[in-house]
Amino acid sequence: MSFGSASLKSVAQGALLAAAALVLTAPLAVAVTAPEIARSDRAEARLHADVDAIAPGEPATLALEIRHAGGWHTYWRNPGDSGEPTSIRWSAPEGVEIGPIEWPAPIRFLASGIMSYGYKADTALLSSIAVPEDWPIGVPVDVTADAVWLVCSDELCIPEQQSFTLRIPTSPTPFADPAAAALVSASRSAQPAEAGVAARWIANEEAFALDLALPELASAKDVVFLPYDWGVIDHAAAQSVTTTAEGVRLTTERGDGPATGPVGGVILAVDDSGAEPASIALAIEASPAPDGAPPPALGAAAGGAGGGGPGAGGPGVGLALGPFGAGAAGVALAALFAFAGGLILNLMPCVFPVLALKAVSLAKHGDADPRERTAQGLAYGAGVLASFLAFAAALLALKAAGASVGWGFQLQSPLVVAALAYILFAVGLNLSGVFEMPSSYAGVGGSLAARDGATGSFFTGVLAAVVASPCTAPFMGAALGYALTQSPATTIAVFAALALGFAAPIMLLSASPALARMLPKPGAWMERFRQALAFPMYAAAAWLLWVLGGQVGVDALFAALIGLVLVALAAWALGVGKPASVAGRRVAGAVAVAALIGALFALTPAIEDDGAAPARAAQSAADGGTGAPSQPYSPDGLAALQAEGRPVFLNVTADWCISCKVNERLVLGGESFRSALEGADAVYVKGDWTRRDDEITALLERFGRVGVPLYVVYPADGSAPEVLPQILTGDIVQGALRAAAR
């Protein structure tokens, strides 16, 4: 009897404890079972916990569930050739630990040679959560997840984000949320299983091989390796499987990124040996093969079905070499193209005012010693050469660091755009006679374009090279695109040839007495002409501020305009201080320094994007900057149009590219272009490179270019695309569209 009473008493105590726990946690459980939802026409996302109440010291799981609308997808941890992985930034109380994302096995998307990895079906990204054992029972755990995901269709990609908050109650024992627990279980079952076998990798400049002790893969279908890190392999290239003594060797083409130390990834395959084909997903980590192992050979992988992109031996390889070919002859031809492009670059409107300044300076010293004029020409050439070689060195360094950059990349930085606007505005004020830099400042660049002598000539060359950077001349784009795919020595040689071509007219004018005699005689007209040249400088500064407004929005633009006022104040202080007393000059100098410091502080908002740029870019993409409607460029969108059999006119442009804007105004902005598009049933696609965009950089590289503009016409029958000249005419565009429609 006493034993039964004790048992009943224990049962009653347990029931009371359980009831108390339910009463304490029930009001808070609502926050877990009814999570916030981020809902759009493209996807729904919500954050779950697999428990209604968590027990300190017991494991639990958080799940970011993403449900995709039809035709939309998101990306895996390595998105492949395009896309961005979903990211989650967690905030939790001190002592609470949240693990990294546990990724389900992805699928592959191949479009126009672009291979990406991700999810089309509904999915859940899991992260473990651990609460310390000494966490007070009854005190909830507040967790915040700032999630960002890129959701794409075949036509466009849209970034989405949401900050989710969960309040998870605590109790002595965990209480499961059945629906969330089922979601977590399904996601875990979709994650790749650990292979648990030895794996080795070996690579050379062309191929990547993976040796696996998995002989069963020899009979499987569609065996592919998806690395965790970008650049280990060429994602779009075919992959072949051969039998080895230990198992199988999977071989594919080498990627552009580093492959050092352990290489992890997922093996995907299909086993059709049973009644129903079964998907295989295995997580592997491969160590480097020992020294002396035989290097891989591409073999069957070289021309397999996965190719089609530049890394797979497709059209991009030939386009990278362009008309130049390989070897010394190719380098010489590229240098010749660069020299011709440099000559033509002198005709660009952004460069002309600077060159006119130099010509006026030479005319002013027409009767001087020929050796002095020659020295000025050589100093100008040295400034140009130093600037172009500095550009080349910066491009090589950034590419070696893994960045995707091209010609004019510095103008993708709002800070550089604003600073260049300040410089051109200051040069304009100097030309207008507002100030003259004291000679003591000449050594640091002082009155760049207006100072006489070798110093002024050198900095005129520097300024001319800087203001030429938004422009790409005929011959120049193909030469630089080739140069940046070759060795550093070739890159430097081609950039040097470009600099020599750009500097040649002024150097020749300086060194030739016959040409010098053709210059007009010095007179009062020179001062008036010098003042008139200030207005193109002001116009260039205004244009750069327009570019800045498109990059960072109106608030940062206003700050830059305040900085411009302070630059004018500094120039005025220098101007009024020059003839004043020593005390007056000191006051003026102090005002100038303070104004310049204020101008530098005004530049800082240009570093941040205030959100106006995406809206403006979207509007720009919607109308193409012309009278013809356009679609924004994306690899998937372009592939979808080609799959429909539609001709495509692709315009890769940037707000800071003067050549682009001239073409859009004179050729692509008229009714004739719209009619040509309609007559060919063609779609106008615009890629905006005003701000850094790795997808557009990759597109330029695929066609052997390092800068904009790039005009490509894709035929309706899927044949090789036609690259148009960088200077367009109506006949060129209309003829290309007619040919593409056949």
Q: Look at residue 87 in the predicted model and tell me its pLDDT.
A: 93
Q: Exposed, middle or buried: residue 30 (CB in 10 Å: 0-12, 13-18, 19+)?
A: exposed
| Lookup: tokens for 673 | 């272009």
Q: Look at residue 297 in the predicted model and tell me its pLDDT.
A: 66
Q: Look at residue 55 in the predicted model and tell me its pLDDT.
A: 92
User: Who has greater pLDDT, 466 or 496?
Assistant: 496
* Helix residue ranges, H only, 401-436: 414-431
Q: Look at residue 187 in the predicted model and tell me its pLDDT.
A: 93
Q: Which range, of 40-49, 209-218, 304-313, 345-354, averages the lowest pLDDT?
A: 304-313
Residue 168 CA to residue 216 CA, distance in Å, equals 45
Residues 6+ apart with CB under 8 A from 492: 389, 392
Only one residue has tokens 């300086």, namely 510
Q: Look at residue 437 in the predicted model and tell me its pLDDT.
A: 54
Query: What is the β-pairing status of strands 193-194 and 278-288?
Result: parallel
Q: Which range, of 106-120, 622-636, 697-711, averages the lowest pLDDT?
A: 622-636
Do the Cβ atoms of 111 and 635 come closer than 8 Å? yes
Do the Cβ atoms of 372 and 530 come closer than 8 Å? no
Most confident of 125-134, 204-213, 483-492, 691-700: 125-134
Nearest to 167 by CA among 199, 206, 138, 202: 138
Q: Look at residue 124 in the predicted model and tell me its pLDDT.
A: 96
Nearest to 67 by CA among 35, 93, 90: 35
Residue 185 CA to residue 638 CA, distance in Å, equals 37
Q: Look at residue 15 in the predicted model and tell me its pLDDT.
A: 44
| Lookup: tokens for 416 | 């550089």
Handedness of CA 341, 344, 347, 351 (dihedral sign): positive
User: Who has greater pLDDT, 477 or 206?
Assistant: 206
* Percent of the chain predicted with pLDDT > 90: 21
Residue 643 CA to residue 716 CA, distance in Å, equals 9
Cis peptide before 721 (omega within 30 of 0): no
**Average confidence (pLDDT) over 331-342:** 83
pLDDT band at 35 (very low <50, low <70, confident <90, very high): low
Q: Look at residue 19 in the predicted model and tell me its pLDDT.
A: 45
Q: Look at residue 282 in the predicted model and tell me its pLDDT.
A: 92
Most confident of 139-143, 194-198, 415-419: 139-143
pLDDT band at 27 (very low <50, low <70, confident <90, very high): very low
Nearest to 659 by CA among 338, 341, 336, 333: 341
User: Who has greater pLDDT, 378 or 624?
Assistant: 378
Residue 199 CA to residue 729 CA, distance in Å, equals 57
Q: Look at residue 300 in the predicted model and tell me its pLDDT.
A: 39
> What average pLDDT is seen over the chain?
76
**Average confidence (pLDDT) over 583-604:** 70
* Percent of the chain predicted with pLDDT > 70: 71
- Residue 565: half-sphere exposure toward Cβ, Cα within 13 Å: 7
| Lookup: tokens for 141 | 């755990």
Residue 364 CA to residue 452 CA, distance in Å, equals 10
| Lookup: tokens for 268 | 């995907």
Only one residue has tokens 């794996």, namely 199
* Amino acid type, 359: A
DSSP 103: P
User: Who has greater pLDDT, 428 or 228?
Assistant: 228
Most confident of 282-296, 423-437, 673-687: 673-687
Q: Is the pLDDT of residue 579 over 50?
A: yes
pLDDT band at 301 (very low <50, low <70, confident <90, very high): very low
pLDDT band at 708 (very low <50, low <70, confident <90, very high): confident
Q: Look at residue 512 in the predicted model and tell me its pLDDT.
A: 75
**Average confidence (pLDDT) over 674-678:** 89
Q: Look at residue 707 in the predicted model and tell me its pLDDT.
A: 73
pTM, to two decimals: 0.42
One DSSP character per residue, 16-69 reads: HHHHHHHHHHHHHHHHHHS--EEE-SSEEEEEEESEEEB-TTS-EEEEEEEEEP
Q: Look at residue 76 in the predicted model and tell me its pLDDT.
A: 96
Nearest to 203 by CA among 296, 302, 301, 294: 296
User: Who has greater pLDDT, 582 or 555?
Assistant: 555
Q: Is the pLDDT of residue 445 over 60?
A: no
Q: Is the pLDDT of residue 71 over 90?
A: no
